[in-house]
Amino acid sequence: MPGDHKILVAIDGPAGAGKSTIATRLAQRLGVPYLDTGAMYRAVALLALRDGLSTALDEAASARVVELMENHPIEVSSGVTGNRIEIDGDDVSFEIRTPECALMASTVSAIPEVRQALVPMQRRLGLENGGVMEGRDIGTVVFPDADLKIFLTASAEERAQRRHRDLVGSDVATSLDDVREQQNRRDRQDTSRSESPLQVAPGSVVVDTTDLSLDEVVERLMAEVANLFPQGA
């Protein structure tokens, strides 16, 4: 990469497409920070769940979510190996990884005030440090001028299978049918919300990971980086 340019790679895509693992590996290969923006929304979701809110958010409940955010600061530290998410100074990086938190995250992310609060944080982190950022609106909203925009996807069944394996591997008791149902709900919510819906950003490189290994995907993305920075990628 030329000079001291802080490369910024935006990776978007639906749940289960492999974004987190691939973004982490790509950041390690490039030696730049990795930022999982979805973890920020999961932190907000955790606040909502702790407060007893459900995914059926009405106007009053949505206002309560915003109030919780204002009263319980969320802090994010990004690095090459991962992110640390804190609420009120407590590390919740593991607690936010439950299926319930994932589904609630999709719900609270549709609240305009939530996105209006978190997007500036994401932009600040990206501008300060560069890196690989992954989420569902990085290339469309947060950094539409990123050096490289990637949209990762995979078949619905493959995504469900991957998510189920990850959860079982983390000792989370759930069935594949439940994972499919939650994934379908998240897909509907993410693509149909009025505020920053999931979509392919203009200029994105679309990569279907269904039949590719993690290493194959990372090598494909490294090749894309090399095309942008032929002198040092």
Instruction: Give domain status of residue 97, yes or no.
Output: yes
Instruction: Give domain status of residue 79, yes or no.
Output: yes
Instruction: Give domain status of residue 76, yes or no.
Output: yes
Q: How many domains does the chain have?
A: 1
CATH code, 31: 3.40.50.300
Per-residue pLDDT of the chain (233 residues; tens, 9 = 90+): 545 678 999 999 998 899 989 999 999 999 999 998 889 999 999 999 999 998 888 999 999 999 999 999 999 887 666 778 999 999 999 999 888 898 899 899 889 999 999 999 899 988 888 999 999 899 999 999 999 999 999 999 999 999 899 888 888 888 999 999 989 988 988 898 877 888 999 999 999 999 999 999 999 999 999 998 876 44
Q: Judging by DSSP bridges, how do beta strands 74-78 and 205-208 pair with one another?
A: unpaired
Instruction: Give domain status of residue 55, yes or no.
Output: yes
> Are 149 and 201 contacting, i.e. CB atoms less than 8 angstroms apart?
yes
Instruction: Give domain status of residue 2, yes or no.
Output: no
Instruction: Give domain status of residue 3, yes or no.
Output: no
Tally Cβ neighbours within 10 Å of residue 188: 11
Instruction: Give domain status of residue 111, yes or no.
Output: yes
Instruction: Give domain status of residue 139, yes or no.
Output: yes
Q: Domain range for residue 158?
A: 8-226
Q: For residues 149 and 152, give the distance between their C-alpha atoms in angstroms, rounded to a whole number.
A: 10
